[in-house]
Structure 1
Amino acid sequence: MRQLWLGWVLKHPWWVLLGTLVLVLLMSSGMSKLYFRGDFRVFFAADNPQLLMFEQMQDEFNKSDNILIGIAPADGQIFNTTNLTLVKQITDAAWQTPYSIRVDSISNFQHTEADADDLLVADLLLDTAQLDEAKIAHIRRVALAEPTLVKRLITADGTVTAINITVQLPELDKNKEVFDTFGFARQLTDEFSQRYPDVRFYLAGVIAMNHSFAYEAEHDARTLIPVMFIVIVIMLALLLRSVVVALATVIIIVVTITSTLGLAGAAGIFLSTATVNVPTILMTLAVADCVHVIASVQFALSRGHDKQSAIEYSMQRNLMPIFITSATTAIGFLTLNFSEVPILADLGNMTAVGVMLACLLSVVTLPALLAVLPVRPGKVKPQHQQDTAMDKLASFVILRQRLLLPAMALLMIVFAGFISLNKVNDEAVKYFSPATDFRQAMDFLDQHLTASMSMDFVLHSGQSSGVNQPEFIAAVENFSQWLAEQPEVAHVNSISDVFKRLNKNMHADDPAFYRIPQTQDEAAQYLLMYEMSLPYGLDLNNQLNLDKSATRLTAALRNMGSKEITSFEQKSLQYFASQFPQYQASAASTALMFAHIGERNMASMLQTLPLALVLISLLLVFSLRSWRMGLISLLPNIAPAAIGFGIWGLYSGEINLGLSVVAGISLGIIVDDTVHFLAKYQHARHEGNNAEAAVRYAFNSVGRALWITTAVLVIGFSVLMLSSFRLNSDMGLLTAIIIFTALVIDFLFLPAFLLKFDTKESQHHA
């Protein structure tokens, strides 16, 4: 069958190329259906419990999607005429932000005070023309004494302030809506930067984060793919020493990528921060297949074969290894379907399909291309002449096998021992490089205010208007104070503070009455008077639901890892349940969602790895037709990932969403080297060679192809390190480390292992 198929391909190469063209055009037609989504919700499945809780909270209260504009004057004084005027002007202009429903700042804070029996409610800064020293002192005194403002919209020392714009997107075209909203805020701050050159502005919040997700993904697509493409072309031309075969490889790469993207579009898959990496990953994987075919053709040509027999020689030796390595790589990526993150599953499926397409094109279209292109035979070497570098390496391994085997085993054990230094840590803000504007803004505002992490708690009274009950308000107040005392919490925004302030106002601003109202009627009356006095857009819907049966309490958190966040959630809910069993509480926030997804994703990936390992091992046993060889291959396939994660434990120690999938991905890729080396080794053994001769033959026939493909793969994944999106850059770096480690193990440990434990079979063949 193989001979018939290959004979037909080589006899009718133009028909093969025409058929490929038609098939590629059909598959690529779906590219027009591709679209891009960059909002943070793409990381969560529709039935994700934290997302459902978050959405329920968003429905019950005002949306919490926001843009936070940080304002930091060079003189460090917010409370002066110039800077208070600036705050007032931006606050007023911010209402024009697309889809905005609320703007909060120190200037429009609804300050309350008593006037005889009346309650006066007004902006803290209503008219900048009235600003004088007395007015500024009054604004400063009120703002720095108000718990709902300090550490949320103004620093305790009055050096930095922020304006919070709450938006409600219609979600018809999320990407456009985010870019429109963020674009307006950016234009606004740019205009004020020109008018106030001594003031620095920072844009943070959920909308800024969504914009950064989308922007960085699109930026990666525009920059990394062209960089990777150029690097691969140059490397292939240099390493394969032929522009023609480099061109053939490029053709296979291009049609693989366009076909994969077309099939994804037809299947309804959208592009995201994860799937924009598919072209870059497929470039490296498609190259690996092509290099093995081409290197073997060049090897045969150098031994005096004509072009057709050289292609036949290459396909006879590479057909099964290419299929097996492609299948194992596809299995590795298909394990991402067990991920809790939908876009990682999309990444896995798209890459798996692309890998198998690359396999098909490499064994059908590439031979046809090589048959019609002017591939030169190069300098013919005698049969006995070996690849000098590879032969020297083979001699070194054979000579030093007794030292290499224990030394490599010891190194593997030592580095694998550092795996325990890693911990799962997912912070959405840290997904972005410190060089990005968004990360710098969040880091600055986190340092001075509380911008990046928060946890919303919904406390249910169990009945309509229950929030007016003094005992419920007392429960809210108790919980707020407990939260404020926790080391993880920087600020608490609670409705109980509003009730205490209103109670004081309604008792002639007597500080002694800064406490919870004593009766439900009092609380209801105060709240009604206050709400009737509030202007449009500044009501209490962000803290109270419609029937006033529940309140939302927001705890701003200090920077911490995912385990700490989930622990804090559990600790907080347990405290409330133990102290107030008559009420119900739930928690939600974007930080909490990412914390949970990181933990669950790592757990699901660890559970999936054994399945992938079993499937890959069975494929290896099938391809090598030997249980013994299949078992021998296990160690060099497992060890690189163990060593890689050990090195990562020393280097960073933080495992995020991107890294949680690396083990599965790399497991499929690194099998490539092992399969090709063992296939050539086994071929030599079946011809009657002893273990030493078989090792030497494997190095000479496939060693060059292995280091070329490894170099391309390492550089390919290293290109992802240029990404400002840490999920991509970290994944690229760790995968590159693992792939390089796999080559070292296959060149130093695997042959030494074979020389030690494959002696009986040698005597049998002898």
Structure 2
Amino acid sequence: MDRYFDAVDRFSEKLTRAIIRYRWVVILAAVAVTIGIGTGMSRLEFASNYRVFFSDENPELSAFENLQATYTKNDNILFVLEPEEDTAFTNNTLAAVEALTAEAWKIPFAIRVDSISNFQYTSAIEDDLIVEDLIIDAKNLTQEEMQSRKVISVDEPLLVNQLVTPTGAVTAINVVLQYPDQSLTEVPEAVEAARQLRDRISSEFPGIDISLTGVSMLNNSFSEVGMIDAGTLTPLMFLVILVMTWLILRSLAGTVSVLLVILFSSIVGMGIAGFFAIKLTPISMSATTVILTLAVADSIHILISLRSLLRDGMSKVDAIAEAVRLNFMPVTITSITTVVGFLALNFSDSPPFWHLGNITATGIAAAWLFSLTLLPALMSVLPIKVKKVHEREWSQVAMTRLADFVIAHYRRLLVGACLIVVGFMACIPLMTFNDQWVEYFDERVAFRTDSDKALKHFGMYPIEYSVPALNPGGVSEPEYLENLEKFVQYLRTRPEVKHVYSISDIMKRLNKNMHGDDQSFYHIPKNRELSAQYLLLYELSLPYGLDLNDRINVDKSATRVTATLRKVTTSETKTFLADTQAWMAENWPEYMQSQPTSAQVMFTYITDRNVDNMISGTLVAIIAIALIMVIALRSIRLGLLSMIPNGLPLLMTFGAWAVLIGEVGFSVATVASVSLGIIVDDTVHFLSKYVRARNEHGISVDDSIRYAFRNVGVAILVNTIILIIGFFVLTTSAFKMNVDMGLMTILSILFALLLDFLFLPALLLVMDKKKVDTERAQAVAERT
């Protein structure tokens, strides 16, 4: 046998016997280390801002931050009021709007409240400009007065489709908040106040359905979903592992040992996260479930070997040492490759995936250490009862028959597998990217159901433009305002656009007001001085909190145009952005050119950015894993060969997803790295047993494949079942990214099992039989 493998075996056996000799020291040390690192968990906090999904280097985030530094931030809470009647213009509903508007100013961090009741309606009395709330004392309005307010509202471009529907059936109240960003409790505090206000208004004004949505509700949902998942997924995963381990091992000692290993590993992973001040998100929180799932694999391989050795009559101590010896190298290799795969997530453009990768990598490293130290120590202490058998188990008989089938039909299997892989690969171009942040949550989350209701009546996806003027005060220039008005009219012709907000509408209304409300003057003023006077007079008439600071910058050298989109896909948003940029280039002077920005723009391009970055990350991971396999197997040929059944499952997964689902979000970019580190495990264990049979026992290619199936086939199958169930648990998450990642990983694991059982042995038969034939021919030639 190769001296390298012999040295590794001797080291692992000596290490295991030393661990058994000092088992109590090892157990106490493991407990002490776990408790020490676990104290970091007390520092963990949930992030409550969607911006955590974007790195500091993200250009779309930088552009959005610049916009919000220039104007008012768009963190908001939107109350959508849908009365049972077909109109919102009743005394009861308008009184509710009036009361809610007044009380909404008391929501923590609120700096502005907009509704149809406090809309600053302008009119003229001779030469005086009158600016007042559109609705005052709603309870005592007559039917005629309410009807006139309805006509004004649905005819006002700044209100219709923004705060009231065209039919007047539904209305909304928008609360803008500005957080000092000094505490993670700021968003939950504001959201809780908004929910209490909603409940109070609902009880005082029955017959009105009030939904809550907006950016602050979105931000709060991230932390709420993380806590929901933490309270459901982790306990459920523990239960699944407990049941599965018991069913597989039928051993209390083995079950207890596995649970302690995975528990300690999870604590270490999350404890390290706490020490590094990682803010938890639904994505990074799923690391616990992933660690629990993957940490089982190492222990199961060792315990299945231990059970088999004990049944063959070996003593307990010798069986533990031999079980570790047989699995030391494959367990080590699979742990390293899994760690590499998850560390590749650091190439992502989204920090939560960095955190998922780093936390999971830490937990997997801890699981490897505990599997090779704590597990043998525990098994040497705990009582183990195994019936000795003199005949092969049914599972080994089944694996031998499978091996015989593969050996007999390996050429057909090889060709068939290639055709199936090519078929799946051909479907990959059918896959489309789509990220709609409202749909990141399922119906268990109130934000999702409320946002779905709001989307029926109003837009939810704003696109912002900060349009520069030629110089300070230039926003009053007739040329500037005329060009702005042309852009607004163009936007309103777009089918994706639900509402457009621009000061050009205000300027047209003021021009009409200052000409005796003559409708023929409803256009942009022709004189700069006149426009500036109108604007100044209007601003001086506005109450505190309802000024134009959210629309015009300080020196009046730029204004903000907001186009709010309907429910749109990522591709539709990209088309819209490209078309508006083309329109600007064709119709605006150079100084007015503007780049779009907003959360919607950020999420639109995060998929492309993530995919581009993760292609690099996955390639690095593939190269690193290939090198690890070459070094571990002491064979360039086998190391490179192993990457074929490791890479193909990913391509098959993307193809299958394109056929079954069709759409993916930006989390898909991370699946390759996550899956690659996991599916390598089966290949490593199969090849390690194959190499051991060839080198240690010196048997033929056919018999080496039978040896691998008999000695590791059941363990591979068992681990696959555990991994599938573990990631299936992840699909019960209330967060869509976790669900997608779980489903795609399940597909890749299934495809990996099929390829490792059918394609890999067939590939070995082709490659190694050819090699054996060549060696025999050379030997014959040398003898002659």
TM-score normalised to the size of structure 2?
A: 0.95
Pairwise CA distance, 1:315:
1.4
Secondary structure of 1:274 counterpart: helix
1:248 aligned partner: 257
Counterpart selection for 1:417 from 419, 426, 429: 426
Q: Is the partner of 2:595 in helix, strand or coil?
A: strand
Superposed CA RMSD = 1.7
Alignment of 1:145-164 (within 5 A): 145-164=155-174
Report the counterpart of residue 572 of structure 2 in structure 1: 564
The offset of 1:435, in angstroms, is 4.5
Whole-Å separation in 2 of the counterparts to 1:183 and 1:381: 67
- Residues 1:37 and 2:41 aligned together: no
Distance (whole Å) between structure 2 residues aligned to residue 193 and residue 130 of structure 1: 20
Quote the offset at 1:577 in angstroms.
3.6
Aligned equivalent of 2:144, options 134, 142, 145: 134
Amino acid at match of 1:133: Q
Q: Secondary structure at the match of 2:132?
A: strand
Aligned 8 A contact 1:99 1:169 in 2: yes
CA contact (8 A) 2:91 2:139 kept: no
Name 2:74's counterpart in structure 1.
Answer: 64
- Aligned match for 2:332, one of 319, 323, 334: 323
Q: Secondary structure at the match of 2:568?
A: coil
In 2, Cα distance between equivalents of 1:9 and 1:761: 42
Q: Specify which of 537, 541, 551 is matched with residue 543 of structure 1.
A: 551
2:501 to 480, 493, 496: 493
Q: Pick which of 527-536 and 506-515 moved more.
A: 527-536
Q: Distance in 2 between matches of 1:300 and 1:762?
A: 32
Query: CA deviation digits over 1:186-220, x for unaligned, max 9?
Result: 11112222334422111111001011111111110
**What SS is found at the alignment partner of 2:79?**
strand
Q: Tell me the equivalent position of 1:8.
A: 18
Alignment of 1:103-502 (within 5 A): 103-174=113-184, 176-382=185-391, 387-450=396-459, 452-502=460-510
CA deviations over 1:6-30 (Å, ceiling 9, x no partner): 2211222112212222222222222
SS at match of 2:78: strand
Deviations 1:645-671 (A, max 9, x none): 111111222221222100111011100
Q: Provide the C-alpha distance between the structure 1 equivalents of 2:15 and 2:183, rounded to a whole number of angstroms.
A: 49
1:524 alignment partner in structure 2: 532
Distance 1:381 1:567, change over 3 A: farther
What CA distance in whole angstroms lies between the structure 2 residues aligned with 1:621 and 1:484? 61
Question: 2:306·2:320 contact (CA, 8 Å) conserved in 1?
Answer: yes
Check whether the contact 2:283–2:356 (CA below 8 A) recurs between aligned residues.
Answer: yes
Partner of 1:620: 629
Where do 5+ consecutive residues of structure 1 fail to align?
Answer: none
Q: Is the 8 A contact 1:307 1:377 kept in 2?
A: no
Q: Which moved more, 1:461-470 or 1:502-511?
A: 461-470
Query: Which is worse superposed, 643-652 or 566-575?
Result: 566-575
Q: Is the 8 A contact 2:97 2:117 kept in 1?
A: yes
1:140 to 1:316, Cα distance in 2 relative to 1, 3 A? same
Match for 1:508 among 516, 537, 546? 516
Following TM superposition, by how much is the alpha carbon of 1:386 offset from its aligned partner in structure 2, in angstroms? 6.9
Letter in 1 for 2:319: A
SS of 1:717's partner is helix
Residue 626 of structure 2 aligns with an amino acid whose one-letter code is: S
1:552 counterpart (560, 566, 574):
560
Comparing 542-551 with 30-39, greater Cα deviation is found at 30-39
Contact 2:731 2:738 survives alignment (8 Å): yes
CA shift for structure 1 position 465 = 1.4
Query: Offset of 1:377 from its aligned partner?
Result: 2.8
Letter in 1 for 2:313: G
How big is each residue's C-alpha offset from its partner over 1:49-94, in whole Å with a ceiling of 9 and x where there is no partner?
Answer: 2112111111111111100011111222112222222221211221
Partner amino acid for 1:565? T
Q: Counterparts of 1:716 and 1:597 in 2: how far apart (Å)?
A: 28
Change (3 A) 1:197 1:691: farther
After TM superposition, the structure 1 stretch with the greater mean CA deviation from structure 2, 620-629 or 398-407, is: 398-407
Distance 1:379 1:718 in 2: 36
Report the count of equivalent residues: 764
Output one character per residue of 1:347-396: Cα deviation in whole Å (capped at 9) or x when no partner: 11111121111111111221111111112233323479872332232233
Which of the residues 90, 95, 112 maps onto 1:85? 95
Give SS of 1:539's match: coil
1:604 is aligned, of 583, 591, 613, to 613
Shift of the 563–603 alpha-carbon distance from structure 1 to 2, 3 Å rule, reads farther
CA deviations over 1:293-333 (Å, ceiling 9, x no partner) = 11111121122211111112211111111111111111111
Give yes or no for contact 1:299–1:701 (8 Å, CA) kept in 2: no
TM-score (norm 1): 0.97
SS at match of 1:582: helix
Percent of aligned positions that are identical: 41
Work out whether residues 212 and 438 of structure 1, in 8 Å CA contact, stay in contact via their aligned partners in 2: yes
2-structure distance, mates of 1:564, 1:84: 36
Range with bigger deviation, 87-96 or 161-170: 87-96
For 2:638, the equivalent position in structure 1 comes to 629
Distance 2:13 2:83 in 1: 77
Give the C-alpha shift of residue 762 in structure 1. Answer: 5.0
Matched residue type, 2:690: Y
Q: Distance in 2 between matches of 1:386 and 1:148?
A: 72
Q: Which runs of 4+ in 1 moved over 3 A?
A: 381-386, 760-766
Q: CA deviation at 1:462?
A: 3.5
Instruction: List alignment gaps of at least 5 residues for structure 2.
Output: 1-10, 780-784
